Amino acid sequence: MTSSIEATTRAWEGLTIPTPGTYLLDAAHKRVGFVGRHMMVSKVRGDFADATATITITDDPLQSSVTATIQAASINTAQADRDGHLRSLEFLDVEQYPTLEFRSTGVKSREGNEFVLVGELTVKGVTRSVELAVEFEGVGRSPFGEDLFGFSASTEIDREDFGLTWNVALETGGVLVGRKVKIEIEGEAIRQS
């Protein structure tokens, strides 16, 4: 007899993956984070508390797609003054640009459970192509009967490519805020259909 979890998963090139369907990012089991450089000597970590994503799994898994929306004002670095500055005109300008958006355009490559997902990231009204290194973490069923899968993803962007150019030169050389920002995403997605 086939269990109901087996009915919502399938074998594909050595992986157990979800059958086709629509999944939503689980708000309780996600982190949309980032890491930036401060004063050329340390890292500052933060995240966006309010983010949604829809993942559509297709018959050919390599044709699957992702759309995501992040509420810019939900940025949090655990330091109120810095968070306020990041929300201001000098950085994200959350009044004029309330969301950051991502839309996948394809899968570039795959090796084992690791994929390179290509998409368009829009920050502060500027759209650029990005490549996310995605690791498929596996499928499961929650104690509440929800079919889900886990994943992690990361990329690095140059914030100045998105018009985030504010900075201050340091007397000792270098700048207050680094240009490169690493994006780190962890999450579970729950089947909707």
Chain segment 77-136, per-residue pLDDT in tens: 999 999 999 999 999 999 999 999 999 999 999 999 999 999 999 999 999 999 999 999
| 75 vs 171, more confident | 75
Closest CA to 53 of 116, 101, 87: 101
Which homologous superfamily does the CATH classification assign to the domain defined by 4-191? Answer: Lipid/polyisoprenoid-binding, YceI-like (2.40.128.110)
Ranking 21-30, 37-46, 153-162 by mean pLDDT, the lowest is 37-46
pLDDT exceeds 90 at position 39: no
